[in-house]
C-alpha cells in the first residue's frame, strides 16, 4: 500500500484533496485593484487573471505542484534554493489591452528617482512585511525575501487584498498623476510574483520553524507498529521534521496522540493564516462533529419540514411532530448540527437538530450578503461611526485662505514667485480663539466651532480617542448635561442591608423575576458589566456578590425561577471576571437547570450557553462539552447581531474556526471571523483583531467571486484603514483608504477619510505638518468624493467650501485650468448663501482668471462686486476688488487706469490701518512702475513697502517681503547700481532662510546666481548654485538638481585648474546619476561624454575612453542613428582635438560615426567624417591610408553639392599626394582646387589664398618637377594675386625675389632679373619705413618656408557644424591648365547661417589671413613637405633675412 501511494499521480492527489470550489471570476468587479487567492474543488487552474495585480486565479498556497511534492520541496529548500522573490510591476491602461511603454518608462523613471532615497523604499516594503534585497528599475522588478512564515503570511495577504499594487501606485505616481481625473481612472499598476517559488519558500520556512500543521490526505494504514500514528482523512496533525527521510513526527490535534506519519500523506495547511491561528491559539480540533444533511446551500433562511417526531428531554429544545413546519429563526448553517427554529403552529422557539428536518421553502442569503444578515451588514459597514461630527473645522484648518481680506501681489515676469501661499492671520485672533487653537494643537484635533451642525471633532470614536488628548469647551459640557436631565435608576434601597427580610422586599429581586426580556435587562448582559453601575449603584464588587448571593437564596425560597436563573448568571459572570472559573461554572450550571422557557429571554439564554461552554473549554472539560457546545455554537453563529457579554466567548469561537479549517468551510470561517473581529474591536484589542479583519476581507472577496456576485457583502477597507493608522503603518493605511469602495458613506465619513489621509501623509512627509511643503495632491481624490456626497444634499455652504478647497489645491500645484471650474461652481452657490461667503468665491475666481491670462473675464466678474460693495460698509473688501481690478488693467496695458485702482486700494488700506495690505499695494505700484520703465518711481514705492514689511516680520509674509526686495533690486539694476542689487537680493535670501521657506530660497538663490554670473564673479555664483542644489535635494526635485549640477560643472571647468576640473568631474558624475534616474537617455549619453572629456583634460586617458564608450552604448540603446552618429563623432573629437593619443579617435570616426552617416545617407556628415579621418592620418604620417579617405572625401564632396567642400577636399588630396612624393598628382589637384574658387574677388583675404597656393605650385614645379618655365607662370599668377592683396606686401616682396632668382639662374635674362630685383628693393625700402626689423624677419622666415606658410593659411569653417549650404551649382573640374591671369580672383562669402564644410579638422591660420580662412582654404602642408621646401629654399630665405 505504501509503495502504491508513493507513486500516486498528481491527478489522483488532486482528487484526494476534496474541497468546495471557490474561484476569483469577477473579483476585480467587486474591488478594483484587488488581488485574491483562489482554489478549486479539483484544483482546475483558471485562465482568468485578476486584473488588480495581475495574479492568476490560482492560490498561492494551494498550488498542487508545490504541495504535492512536499517531500521533495523540503529538500529543495537548502543552500541551492534561492530565498529571493521577484516582484514584477507594470503599469497598464484599463482602456487598452495593449501594454503602454510610455507609462512603464514613466514608472521606471519615478522608481529610479525614489530609489536614490533608499530608506523610503525600505520602509515601504517593511510596512508590507517584506525585506527588500534590491531594486531593478530597468527590469521592472523588486527583489524581496522573507525570513519567517509570518512575513510571508502578511505579505501574501496584502498582495491578495490589492495593497501591494496600491502602495506602489501611491509611491511611484507623482503629484501630477493625482490631479488628472481621466488619467487616474484609466491607469493602474499590476504586480505579480512567482507563485510556485513563493509557495516553495513558504514550505521551507515551515520546516525551518520546526513544527507546523498539516491535514491528512487519507486514512492511516493499518499497522501494528506502536510508533506510527493512527489518523483519519482530513484530521489536523501538528508535524515536525525529525530528520528521517519520508517520515515526520505528528501530534493529532483531536486527541493529542503522538506518532510517526508518512510525509506523502500529509498536506501542509494551505494558508499561512491557518498556521498562525493554530499556533497562537492551540487547542483540540475535535468536539464539533458535522452530520450530513439535506441542505445544499451553506447558509439559508426559510422553513423546514420535520421528518420525525421529537419529544425533547430538555425544555430548550423544540417539540414537534413529523410533517410540522418549522421556520428558521436567524440563519440555518449547514455546517452545524443544530439551529434555532420556530414552530409555525404553536409559535414556540427552540433548538432543532438538523437531522430531524428537511428543507421545504428555503433560500440562500441575498447576493449581497453571502454570510451576513442585512442587519449585520449595515452594522458592520457603519462600524465605529463618527457621530455628531462636522467638517467645517477641518476645511478651515487645511485650506484656510485670506483672499477676501488680503491683497494679491502682481507678477512682473517668470522669475517672480509663481504662487504665494497666504496663511491665515494668526495675529488677529482674540484670546478665546487663541486658547482654542492651543488646545487643538495639543490634542491634534481642531477646535470646536459653533455651527448649526454639530462639530466634526466634538466626538471621536473610541478607536480614535484612545491614547489621545481630549478637546472640550463649555458648550460641549452644558450640551451633554442637558442630555441627562434625570439620573439613571438605582434599584438598591439605601436601607436594604438593615432589613432582615431583605430578599422578600428587594426591588432588584422583583426586577429579575420578570418572565420576559425587558430593555432594562440589557445592562445585565453587556460586555462592559454596566449593571454594576446601573443596577447596583457602583458599590464594590464584593458587596455585589454578597447581595447577589442573598438574592439567589431569596429566589430559591420564593420559587422565583427567573430571578433564580438571572441571579445565578450574574454570580457566574462576576466569578468569571475574577478568574474563578470553577465557581463560575457551578453558578452557570445551576442557572441552566432552572426550569424556565429560556427563549423568553433570548439574550440570557445565549449568554448562559456561551459563557458556560467557554468555561468548559478553558478548563478542558471535554466530557461536558457535548451537552452545550452544539447549542452554544448555534446560538452564537445562527442568531444575527450577537451581543457579546464576555471576552471569554472567544474560547467558543476558536473550536468553531478550527472546524471551519478542517472542513474547508469558507462560509463558516467567514462568519466566525466576523464574530471574532466584532468581539475584539468592541474591546479595543486592535492587535488581536487585525488578522481576522484582514482574513474576513479576503474571504469576502473570494466568496463573492465564487458565487459570481457583483458586490461583496461589505468592504472592510474602511475599518482596516483605521486599524493600520492605529498601528502606525501609513503606507497600508493609505492603500486601504484608497481601495475603500463602500457606496453608503456619509458626508462625515468622507471628511474623516480626508483627515485620515492627511494624518498618514504627514507621517510619510513631516514637512506637511509644519506647512513648509504643500499637501499631497492626492487629497483632491477624497475632496471630490466628499463633494460628490455633498452634492446630493442641501448643505450648499459645505459644497461651496469643498469647491474652494479643490480650487485652492489645484492652484497650489499650478493646475489653474482645473481650478477655475471649481471656483465657478463655488460662485454658482452664492445666491443660496450669505454675501460674505459668496464674495470669497467670486474673488478667488477673479484671481484665478488673472493668473490664467483672462483679465477681461476677471474684470467682468469684479466690476459687479465693486458696485455692490459701494453700497455697503466693507472697505477692506472694496480694497481687495480695487487691487484685483488694477491687476486686470495692467495685464491689458491700461497703465493709467491700473494706477488709479492701485491708488484706491492703497488709500483704503491706509484709512483702515491695515499695514499688510498697504505694503502690498505699494509693492504693486512699484511693480507697475517697473513695467513701464520708471525705476526711480518704483524705488520710491518699494522702499515704502519694505519699511512696512519690517513691522510684519513675525507674520507669515516672507514670500511677499522677498518679492518686494527682488523688485527693488531690479529697479537698481536698471540704473546700474550693482552693489545695491546685491544687497537687496542677499537680504531677501536671509529672510527666506530665517522663514525656512525652501521655495523662497530657491527663487532668490537663482536670481543671485545669475546676477553674479553677469558680473563675472564666478566664485559667488558657484556658492549660490550650490545652495540651489541643496534646496533641490530638500525639495526632492531631481530635475532641478540635475540642471544646477550641470551649471556647477561648467563653472568649475571654466576655472581651468586641476582642482576645479576634479570638482567639475564630481558634479558631472552626480548629474549623470540623476540623468540615469530620470531615464533621460539623451542627457545621460551627453553626460557620459562630458565626464570622458574632463578625464581627458586631467590626463587620465584610460578612464576617458571608458566613459566615452559608455556614452556610445547609451546612445545606441536609444535606437536613434542620427544621435548615435553625433555621440560617436563627439567622442572621437575628444582625442582628435587634443594633443595626446590622437589615433584613439579612429575607432569612433571609422567604426561608429561613418557607418551611421552612410546608413542614414547624410552626405554632409559623411564628408565631414572622411575629412577628419584623412586629416588625422595625415598628421600621424600614415599617408597611404590617408590617401584612401582623402579620395573618398573628394567623391563625397561632389554629392554634397557645395563647391567649398569640393575645393577643400581637392586641396587636401593634393597635400596627401605631395607627402607621397607624387608631385604631378599634387599639382593636378591643387589646380582643381583653384578651379573651384570663385571667379569674382571680393576681399583681400581671398587673394591671399591664391598667393599661397600659386607660390606653392611654383616651388613644386621649380624644385621637384624641374620646370622653370611653369614655375615662372605660377609666380606670375601669384604676383597678380599679390597685387590685389594690398595688406600683404611681404608676399609681394618674396615673389619679386623668386622671379629675380629664376631669371638669374634658371631662365637667364639679366634685364628682367634686374627689373624684378629693383622692384623688390623698392618694396623693401617702403616696408622698412612702416615695420620694424623683427617683423620683417618674421615674415622673411615665414615666406622662406612657403609650404609651411601655405599650410598655416588653410582652415575650415565653424568647428562643430555640418557642411555648407551653397547656392552655386556643381563644380566643373579642370585639368592642369593654367588659369588665365586676367580673371579676377575672389573667395566665396558665406552667411552666418550657413554651415561650414569642414569643421574640426582646420589648422592654425596665419594671423594675417585668419578672416579668409574662416571660410575656405586647403589644409596645411605636412611636416615632410615643409622640410623639403626648407632645404631647397634655404639660400633665398637667408638672403631675404639678411636684407630685412
Q: Specify the 3-state DSSP secondary structure of 350.
A: strand
Mean pLDDT across the chain:
77
pLDDT score of 1166 more than 70? yes
Sequence length of the chain is: 1444
- 493-537: pLDDT as tens digits: 444 444 444 434 578 888 888 888 888 888 888 888 888 888 888
Where do we find the cell 482530513? Answer: 234
Q: What local confidence, expressed as pLDDT, does residue 834 receive?
A: 62
Cell numbers describing residue 806? 479643490
In angstroms, the CA 1265 to CA 1227 distance is: 10
CB 137 within 8 A of CB 111: yes
**Higher pLDDT, residue 55 or 1157:** 1157
- Cβ neighbours for 816, distance < 8 A, ≥ 6 positions apart: 810, 848, 851, 852
DSSP 649: G
Q: What local confidence, expressed as pLDDT, does residue 394 receive?
A: 76
Q: Where residue 80 falls among pLDDT bands split at 50, 70, 90?
A: low
- 1186-1219: pLDDT as tens digits: 999 999 999 999 899 888 899 899 999 999 999 9
Q: What local confidence, expressed as pLDDT, does residue 1353 receive?
A: 34
**Higher pLDDT, residue 574 or 430:** 574
pLDDT score of 397 more than 90? no
In 1141-1293, the DSSP E strands lie at: none
Q: What one-character-per-residue DSSP string does 1070-1092 give?
A: HHHHHHHHHT-HHHHHHHHHHHH
Among 316-325, 392-401, 745-754, 1054-1063, the minimum mean pLDDT is found in 392-401
Average pLDDT over residues 177-196: 88
**Higher pLDDT, residue 34 or 818:** 818
Residue 1422 backbone dihedrals phi, psi, to 5 degrees: -75, 170
Q: What pairs with residue 351 in β-bridges?
A: 317, 340
DSSP 617: H
- Cβ neighbours for 834, distance < 8 A, ≥ 6 positions apart: none
% of residues, the chain, pLDDT over 90: 33
Residue from 1095, 1094, 1156, 1099 nearest 1127 by CA = 1156
Average pLDDT over residues 1221-1227: 90
Among 186-195, 371-380, 550-559, 873-882, the minimum mean pLDDT is found in 371-380
Q: Where residue 69 falls among pLDDT bands split at 50, 70, 90?
A: very low
Q: What local confidence, expressed as pLDDT, does residue 627 receive?
A: 82
In angstroms, the CA 841 to CA 995 distance is: 30
Q: Where residue 294 falls among pLDDT bands split at 50, 70, 90?
A: low
In angstroms, the CA 508 to CA 493 distance is: 9
Average pLDDT over residues 963-975: 91
Q: What local confidence, expressed as pLDDT, does residue 1411 receive?
A: 30
- 96-108: pLDDT as tens digits: 878 888 888 888 8
- 1231-1255: pLDDT as tens digits: 998 888 877 766 777 788 888 898 9
In angstroms, the CA 493 to CA 501 distance is: 13
- 656-668: pLDDT as tens digits: 998 888 888 888 9
CB 276 within 8 A of CB 213: no
pTM here is 0.75
Among 812-826, 873-887, 1083-1097, 1280-1294, the minimum mean pLDDT is found in 1280-1294
* Helices 101-115, 1058-1078: crossing angle, 10 deg rounding: 130
Cell numbers describing residue 591? 442557572
Question: SS3 letters for 1305-1316?
Answer: HCCCCHHHHHHH
CB 36 within 8 A of CB 682: no
- 790-841: pLDDT as tens digits: 888 878 888 888 898 999 889 888 888 999 999 998 888 765 566 666 788 8
Q: What local confidence, expressed as pLDDT, does residue 384 receive?
A: 63
Residue from 111, 376, 32 nearest 1079 by CA = 111
Residue from 1064, 981, 975, 1061 nearest 1025 by CA = 1064
- 1351-1372: pLDDT as tens digits: 333 333 333 333 333 333 333 2
CB 1390 within 8 A of CB 1357: yes
Q: What pairs with residue 241 in β-bridges?
A: 248
Q: Where residue 922 falls among pLDDT bands split at 50, 70, 90?
A: very high
- 1376-1418: pLDDT as tens digits: 333 333 332 233 332 333 333 323 323 333 323 223 332 333 3
Residue from 1046, 1117, 1095 nearest 1075 by CA = 1046
Cell numbers describing residue 1041? 538638481
pLDDT score of 84 more than 80? yes
Q: 695-727: buried (b, 16+ CB within 10 Å) or exposed (e) per residue?
A: bbbbbbbbbbbbbebeebbbbbbbbbbbbbbbe
Residue from 278, 282, 287 nearest 336 by CA = 287
In angstroms, the CA 1144 to CA 1133 distance is: 10
Question: SS3 letters for 981-1048?
Answer: HHHHHHHHHHHHHHCCCHHHHHHHHHHHHHHHHHCCCHHHHHHHHHHHHHHHHHHCCHHHHHHHHHHH
Q: What one-character-per-residue DSSP string does 63-127 give?
A: -HHHHTTHHHHHHHSSTTS---EEEEEEEEETT-SS--HHHHHHHHHHHHHHHTSHHHHHHHHHH
CA distances from 1032 to 998, 1076, 1316 (A): 9, 17, 75
% of residues, the chain, pLDDT over 70: 76
Question: SS3 letters for 1135-1172?
Answer: HHCCCCCHHHHHHHHHHHHHHHHHHCCCHHHHHHHHHH
Q: What local confidence, expressed as pLDDT, does residue 1338 receive?
A: 43
pLDDT score of 197 more than 60? yes
- 1277-1336: pLDDT as tens digits: 888 888 887 777 888 888 889 988 888 888 888 888 888 899 888 888 887 765 554 444
> How far does Cα 120 stand from its chain's mean position?
11
Neighbours of 1375 (CB within 10 A): 8
pLDDT score of 461 more than 50? no
- Dihedral of CA atoms 875, 876, 878, 879 in degrees, nearest 10, equals 120
- 685-716: pLDDT as tens digits: 889 999 999 999 988 888 777 766 655 667 88
Among 742-756, 847-861, 1334-1348, the minimum mean pLDDT is found in 1334-1348
Q: Specify the 3-state DSSP secondary structure of 312.
A: coil
- The most confident of 203-217, 261-275, 331-345, 520-534, by mean pLDDT: 331-345
Residue from 1199, 1203, 1186 nearest 1397 by CA = 1203
Tell me whether strands 349-353 and 338-343 are parallel, antiparallel or unpaired. antiparallel
Residue from 765, 755, 779, 780 nearest 998 by CA = 765
Amino acid at each position: 500500500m505504501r509503495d502504491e501511494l508513493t507513486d500516486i499521480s498528481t491527478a489522483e492527489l488532486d482528487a484526494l484533496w476534496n474541497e468546495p470550489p471557490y474561484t476569483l471570476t469577477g473579483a476585480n468587479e467587486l474591488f478594483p485593484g484587488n488581488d485574491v487567492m483562489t482554489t478549486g474543488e479539483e484544483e482546475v487552474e483558471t485562465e482568468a487573471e485578476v486584473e488588480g495585480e495581475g495574479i492568476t486565479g490560482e492560490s498561492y498556497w494551494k498550488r498542487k505542484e508545490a504541495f504535492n511534492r512536499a517531500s521533495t520541496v523540503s529538500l529543495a529548500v537548502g543552500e541551492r534554493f534561492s530565498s529571493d522573490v521577484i516582484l514584477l510591476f507594470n503599469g497598464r491602461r484599463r482602456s487598452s489591452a495593449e501594454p503602454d511603454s510610455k507609462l512603464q518608462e514613466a514608472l521606471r523613471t519615478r522608481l529610479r528617482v525614489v530609489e536614490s532615497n533608499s530608506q523610503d523604499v525600505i520602509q515601504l516594503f517593511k510596512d508590507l512585511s517584506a525585506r527588500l534585497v534590491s531594486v531593478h528599475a530597468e527590469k521592472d522588478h523588486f527583489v524581496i525575501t522573507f525570513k519567517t512564515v509570518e512575513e510571508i503570511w502578511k505579505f501574501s495577504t496584502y498582495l491578495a487584498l490589492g495593497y501591494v499594487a496600491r502602495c506602489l501606485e501611491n509611491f511611484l505616481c507623482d503629484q501630477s498623476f493625482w490631479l488628472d481625473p481621466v488619467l487616474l481612472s484609466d491607469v493602474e499598476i499590476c504586480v505579480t510574483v512567482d507563485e510556485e517559488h513563493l509557495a516553495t519558500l513558504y514550505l521551507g520556512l515551515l520546516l525551518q520553524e520546526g513544527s507546523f500543521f498539516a491535514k491528512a490526505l487519507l486514512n492511516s494504514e493499518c499497522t501494528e507498529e506502536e510508533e506510527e500514528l493512527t489518523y483519519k482523512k482530513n484530521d489536523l496533525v501538528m508535524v515536525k521534521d525529525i530528520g528521517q527521510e519520508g517520515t515526520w513526527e505528528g501530534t493529532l490535534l483531536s486527541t493529542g496522540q503522538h506518532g510517526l506519519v508518512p510525509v506523502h500523506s500529509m498536506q501542509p495547511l494551505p494558508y499561512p493564516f491557518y498556521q498562525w491561528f493554530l499556533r497562537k491559539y492551540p487547542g483540540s480540533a475535535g468536539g464539533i462533529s458535522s452530520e450530513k444533511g439535506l441542505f445544499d446551500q451553506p447558509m439559508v433562511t426559510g422553513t423546514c419540514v420535520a421528518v420525525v417526531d421529537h419529544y425533547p428531554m430538555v425544555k430548550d429544545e423544540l417539540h414537534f411532530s413529523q410533517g410540522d413546519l418549522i421556520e428558521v429563526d436567524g440563519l440555518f448553517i449547514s455546517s452545524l448540527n443544530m439551529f434555532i427554529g420556530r414552530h409555525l403552529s404553536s409559535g414556540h422557539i427552540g433548538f432543532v437538530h438538523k437531522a430531524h428536518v428537511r428543507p421545504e421553502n428555503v433560500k440562500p442569503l441575498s447576493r449581497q450578503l453571502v454570510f451576513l444578515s442585512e442587519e449585520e451588514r449595515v452594522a458592520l459597514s457603519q462600524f465605529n461611526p463618527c457621530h455628531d461630527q462636522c467638517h467645517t473645522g477641518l476645511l478651515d484648518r487645511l485650506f484656510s485662505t485670506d483672499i477676501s481680506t488680503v491683497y494679491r501681489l502682481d507678477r512682473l515676469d517668470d522669475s517672480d514667485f509663481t504662487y504665494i501661499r497666504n496663511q491665515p492671520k494668526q495675529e488677529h485672533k482674540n484670546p478665546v480663539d487663541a486658547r482654542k487653537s492651543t488646545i487643538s494643537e495639543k490634542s491634534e484635533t481642531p477646535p470646536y466651532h459653533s455651527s448649526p451642525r454639530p462639530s466634526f471633532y466634538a466626538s471621536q470614536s473610541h478607536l480614535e480617542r484612545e491614547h489621545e488628548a481630549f478637546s472640550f469647551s463649555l458648550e460641549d459640557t452644558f450640551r451633554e448635561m442637558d442630555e441627562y436631565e434625570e439620573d439613571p435608576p438605582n434599584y438598591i434601597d439605601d436601607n436594604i442591608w438593615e432589613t432582615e427580610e431583605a430578599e422578600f422586599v428587594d426591588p432588584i429581586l422583583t426586577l429579575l423575576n420578570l418572565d420576559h426580556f425587558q430593555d432594562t435587562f440589557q445592562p445585565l448582559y453587556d460586555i462592559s458589566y454596566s449593571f454594576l453601575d446601573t443596577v447596583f449603584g457602583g458599590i464594590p464588587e464584593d458587596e455585589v456578590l454578597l447581595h447577589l448571593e442573598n438574592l439567589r437564596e431569596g429566589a430559591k425560597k420564593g420559587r422565583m425561577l427567573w430571578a433564580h436563573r438571572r441571579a445565578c448568571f450574574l454570580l457566574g459572570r462576576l466569578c468569571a471576571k475574577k478568574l474563578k472559573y470553577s465557581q463560575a461554572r457551578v453558578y452557570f450550571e445551576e442557572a441552566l437547570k432552572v426550569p424556565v422557557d429560556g427563549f423568553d429571554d433570548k439574550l440570557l439564554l445565549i449568554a448562559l450557553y456561551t459563557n458556560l461552554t467557554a468555561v468548559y473549554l478553558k478548563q478542558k472539560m471535554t466530557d461536558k462539552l457535548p451537552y452545550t457546545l452544539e447549542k452554544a455554537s448555534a446560538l452564537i453563529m445562527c442568531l444575527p447581531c450577537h451581543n457579546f457579554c464576555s471576552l471569554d466567548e472567544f474560547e467558543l469561537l476558536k473550536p468553531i474556526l478550527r472546524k471551519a479549517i478542517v472542513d474547508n468551510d469558507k462560509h463558516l470561517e467567514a462568519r466566525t471571523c466576523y464574530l471574532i473581529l466584532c468581539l475584539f474591536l468592541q474591546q479595543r484589542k486592535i492587535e488581536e483583531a487585525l488578522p481576522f479583519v484582514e482574513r474576513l476581507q479576503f474571504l469576502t472577496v473570494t466568496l463573492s467571486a465564487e458565487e459570481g456576485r457583483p458586490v461583496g457583502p461589505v468592504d472592510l477597507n474602511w475599518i482596516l484603514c483605521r486599524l493600520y493608522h492605529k498601528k502606525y503603518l501609513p503606507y497600508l493605511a493609505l492603500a486601504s483608504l484608497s481601495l475603500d469602495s463602500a457606496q453608503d458613506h456619509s458626508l462625515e465619513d468622507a471628511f474623516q477619510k480626508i483627515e485620515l489621509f492627511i494624518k498618514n501623509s504627514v507621517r510619510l512627509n513631516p514637512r506637511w505638518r509644519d506647512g513648509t511643503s504643500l499637501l499631497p495632491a492626492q487629497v483632491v481624490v477624497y475632496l471630490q468624493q466628499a463633494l460628490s456626497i455633498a452634492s446630493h444634499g442641501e448643505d450648499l455652504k459645505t459644497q461651496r467650501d469643498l469647491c474652494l478647497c479643490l480650487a485652492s489645491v489645484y492652484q497650489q500645484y499650478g493646475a489653474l485650468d482645473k481650478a477655475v471650474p471649481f471656483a465657478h461652481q463655488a460662485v454658482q452657490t452664492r445666491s443660496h448663501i450669505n454675501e460674505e461667503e459668496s464674495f470669497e468665491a467670486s474673488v478667488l475666481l477673479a484671481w484665478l482668471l488673472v493668473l490664467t491670462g483672462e483679465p477681461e473675464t476677471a474684470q467682468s466678474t469684479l466690476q459687479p462686486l465693486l458696485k455692490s460693495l459701494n453700497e455697503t460698509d466693507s472697505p477692506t473688501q472694496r480694497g481687495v476688488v480695487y487691487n484685483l481690478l488694477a491687476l486686470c488693467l495692467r495685464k491689458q496695458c491700461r497703465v493709467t487706469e491700473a494706477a488709479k485702482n492701485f491708488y484706491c486700494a492703497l488709500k483704503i488700506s491706509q484709512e483702515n490701518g491695515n499695514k499688510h495690505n498697504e505694503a502690498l499695494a505699494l509693492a504693486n505700484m512699484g511693480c507697475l512702475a517697473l513695467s513701464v520703465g520708471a525705476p526711480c518711481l518704483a524705488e520710491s514705492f518699494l522702499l515704502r513697502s519694505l519699511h512696512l514689511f519690517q513691522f510684519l516680520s513675525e507674520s507669515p509674509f516672507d514670500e511677499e517681503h522677498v518679492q518686494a526686495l527682488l523688485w527693488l533690486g531690479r529697479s537698481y539694476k536698471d540704473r546700474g547700481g550693482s552693489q545695491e542689487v546685491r544687497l537687496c537680493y542677499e537680504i531677501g535670501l536671509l529672510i527666506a532662510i530665517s522663514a525656512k521657506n525652501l521655495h523662497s530660497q530657491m527663487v532668490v538663490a537663482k536670481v543671485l546666481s545669475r546676477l553674479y554670473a553677469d558680473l563675472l564673479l564666478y566664485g559667488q555664483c558657484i556658492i549660490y548654485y550650490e545652495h540651489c542644489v541643496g534646496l533641490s535635494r530638500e525639495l526632492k526635485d531631481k530635475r532641478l538638481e540635475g540642471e544646477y549640477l550641470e551649471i556647477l560643472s561648467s563653472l568649475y571647468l571654466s576655472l581651468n585648474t586641476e582642482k576645479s576640473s576634479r570638482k567639475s568631474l564630481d558634479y558631472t558624475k552626480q548629474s549623470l546619476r540623476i540623468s540615469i534616474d530620470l531615464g533621460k537617455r539623451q542627457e545621460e549619453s551627453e553626460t557620459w561624454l562630458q565626464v570622458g572629456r574632463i578625464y581627458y583634460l586631467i590626463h587620465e586617458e584610460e578612464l576617458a575612453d571608458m566613459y566615452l564608450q559608455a556614452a556610445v552604448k547609451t546612445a545606441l540603446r536609444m535606437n536613434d542613428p542620427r544621435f548615435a552618429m553625433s555621440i560617436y563623432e563627439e567622442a572621437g573629437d575628444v582625442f582628435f582635438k587634443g594633443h595626446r593619443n590622437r589615433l584613439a579617435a579612429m575607432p569612433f570616426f571609422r567604426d561608429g560615426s561613418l557607418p551611421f552617416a552612410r546608413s542614414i545617407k547624410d552626405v554632409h556628415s559623411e564628408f565631414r567624417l572622411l575629412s577628419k579621418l584623412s586629416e588625422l592620418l595625415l598628421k600621424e604620417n600614415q599617408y597611404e591610408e590617408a590617401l584612401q579617405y582623402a579620395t573618398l572625401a573628394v567623391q563625397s564632396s561632389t554629392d554634397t553639392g557645395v563647391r567649398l567642400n569640393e575645393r577643400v577636399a581637392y586641396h587636401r588630396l593634393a597635400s596627401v599626394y605631395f607627402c607621397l612624393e607624387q608631385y604631378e598628382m599634387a599639382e593636378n589637384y591643387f589646380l582643381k582646387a583653384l578651379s573651384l574658387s570663385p571667379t569674382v574677388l571680393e576681399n583681400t583675404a581671398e587673394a591671399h589664398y591664391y598667393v599661397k597656393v600659386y607660390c606653392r605650385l611654383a616651388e613644386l614645379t621649380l624644385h621637384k618637377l624641374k620646370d622653370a618655365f611653369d614655375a615662372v607662370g605660377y609666380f606670375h599668377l601669384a604676383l597678380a594675386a599679390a597685387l590685389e592683396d594690398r595688406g600683404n606686401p611681404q608676399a609681394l616682396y618674396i615673389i619679386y625675389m623668386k622671379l629675380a632668382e629664376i631669371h638669374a639662374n634658371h631662365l637667364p635674362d639679366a634685364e628682367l632679373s634686374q627689373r624684378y630685383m629693383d622692384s623688390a628693393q623698392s618694396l623693401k625700402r617702403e616696408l622698412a619705413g612702416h615695420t620694424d626689423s623683427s617683423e620683417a624677419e618674421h615674415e622673411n622666415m615665414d615666406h622662406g618656408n612657403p609650404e609651411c606658410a601655405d599650410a598655416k593659411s588653410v582652415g575650415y569653417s565653424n568647428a562643430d557644424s555640418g557642411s555648407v549650404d551653397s547656392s552655386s551649382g556643381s563644380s566643373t573640374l579642370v585639368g592642369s591648365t593654367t588659369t588665365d591671369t586676367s580673371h579676377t580672383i575672389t573667395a566665396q562669402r558665406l552667411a552666418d547661417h550657413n554651415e561650414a564644410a569642414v569643421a574640426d579638422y582646420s589648422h592654425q591660420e596665419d594671423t594675417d589671413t585668419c578672416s579668409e580662412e574662416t571660410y575656405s582654404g586647403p589644409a596645411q602642408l605636412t611636416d615632410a613637405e615643409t622640410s623639403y621646401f626648407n632645404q631647397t629654399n634655404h639660400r633665398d630665405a637667408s638672403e631675404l633675412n639678411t636684407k630685412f
